[in-house]
Amino acid sequence: MKLKFLGAAKTVTGSCFLVETGDFRFIVDCGLFQGPKSLQERNYEDFPVDPASIDFIILTHAHIDHSGLIPKLCKKGFTGPIYCSYITEELCRVMLPDSGYIQESEVERKNRKRKRSGLKLLEPIYTAQDALNCLSQFRSLNVDETININPNIDIRLRTAGHILGASIIELWVQENGKKSKLVFSGDLGNVNQPLVKDPATIESADFLIIESTYGNRLHDSALGRADKFLQVINETMAKGGNLVIPAFAVERTQDIIYDLIKLGYEKKLDPDIKVYIDSPLAIAATEIFVKNRESYDDTTRAFMMKRDPWQYINLHLSRTREESLQLNDTLGKSIIISASGMCEAGRIKHHLKHNLWRPESTILFVGYQAAGTLGRRILDGEQIVTIHGEKIAVKADIRRIEAYSAHADKDGLLDWLMSFVVKPKDIFIVHGEEDAQLALAEAIQEKLNIPIFIPDWLQEFELFAREEEVRPHYVHVDRELSEAIKAEQMYLQASLKLNEMFRENWARGNYEKIIEAMQNISTIV
């Protein structure tokens, strides 16, 4: 079995990993490269492998750096199924066409200048229609259920705690009579996040492919993030400026809105402050989040279902281009949340153009900024940046709150790895800049004597199965071991049935039946 790294190798974007056996070829993720021009150029190149030869895709989650090249792969000949969670499929149905639209818009804007200069016109990587065409290939799977993809491959999606629908991938691959287990962490989330459940514990692996976005950092506690946010809000409003927040449309925008709702509920937020979500994608994603409240953290779900949460903030949704343009004249008392999160495209560029030069305004970063992106350059202290061909002075207050990160920090990654009952045979560190990867590798080596690899782009590894199939050793007594495995399987099956019951009755409006089922469960717990 071979594992080839087609993306997210010594970088945080372009996640794509090729697994090849004697009988099958498939990829985990197919993400867009973001950041410096040298990385972005990979999006326009031919795929390192013939798309028509790929049997299927497994998608960890909907973020564009993991899903954003799927439309191109399909356009170039991939016809197989795309496996992912139900919520990931829902999000991709709005995110991928939006990605195509943004690319078309950016190319159209650039081509107006190139045409005047007599230069060759550009073409988008793919169009919104290309993205729509690929959606029929998506196949959603139940989380926590082991699915037989083909005679030699089983898959199980586990909660990653990153964004709604994000999955850790467990893969059992049989080749030459031997079975190996691969685990792809995807983007691993923090614990105690309000809108997502904590990452699932994985019992065992032969080979682990683990992300390292914050492999060299520790986050501030999420428990005090709302108070820090409130301080930034109050300081900005006191100066009479706008608070502009570049935010990923999925998860980060919803985290921010949730904290604003909580601040409003606690009467800490000035009700006259207007809150704008200026991103059609973020608005659509928020609607999906509202619909899937059963996936929230338990405390958050209880809070959001007890009352009408929207009454606590002065919320405005900017759906149209005209509504967005009107915000350019906004001079204060406003919070503008817009995408993209790394300031590389979309409406956020317009808001930066109209606010970066204003000392009374604040630009608040709440997510990771990849090397070479506009967001990273602003954070790194550049005094003048170019936006849409115009030089803009950076005079606004530049702030950052890392507690909003949807990625586990170094300790979070280590804690998750150490929870494996049977540790991996080999570990591959991906999805991180090299300094973060080296720091995580060193931290793992201090705790575990396991071979660690930091792959280069397009590097290929031959994977050899263990002599014996890996089984978790929960305890030392065989009888107790079998009981532990049985208990876990029964729990997973029960949770699947409960989730199915909830979805079915919620869609039909049979709330009484849901309440009755919950009451019956509460009597025995």
Residue spans of the domains in the chain: they are 2-217+406-462, 222-404, 482-524
CATH number for 2-217+406-462 (one of 1.10.579.10, 3.60.15.10, 3.30.70.1560, 3.40.309.10): it is: 3.60.15.10
> Tell me: the pLDDT tens digits for 443-471?
999 999 899 999 999 999 999 876 665 55
pLDDT of residue 368 exceeding 50 = yes
Segment among 200-204, 252-256, 406-410, 465-469 with least mean pLDDT: 465-469
The kind and range of the H/E element at 219 are none
Segment among 23-27, 40-44, 115-119 with least mean pLDDT: 115-119
pLDDT recorded at residue 92? 97
- Residue recorded with tokens 């929230």: 296
Q: How many Cβ atoms are within 10 Å of 414's Cβ, its own excluded?
A: 18
pLDDT recorded at residue 470? 55
For the chain, the residue count is 525
DSSP string, 72-130: HHHHTT--S-EEEEHHHHHHHHHHHHHHHHHHHHHHHHHHHHHHHTTPPPP--SS-HHH
Mean pLDDT for all residues in the chain: 90
CATH number for 222-404 (one of 3.40.109.10, 3.30.565.10, 3.40.50.10890, 2.40.128.20): it is: 3.40.50.10890
Q: How many Cβ atoms are within 10 Å of 395's Cβ, its own excluded?
A: 14
335 three-state secondary structure: strand
User: Residue 454 is which amino acid?
Assistant: I
- Which tokens sit at 261? 């709702």
Alpha helices in 390-463 (DSSP H): 410-418, 434-447
Average pLDDT value for residue range 133-151: 95
Cα→Cα distances 264→310, 321, 364, Å:
9, 28, 19
pLDDT of residue 473 exceeding 80 = no
Average pLDDT value for residue range 282-300: 85
Segment among 99-108, 276-285, 488-497, 498-507 with least mean pLDDT: 488-497
Q: What's the distance, CA 460 to chain centroid? A: 25
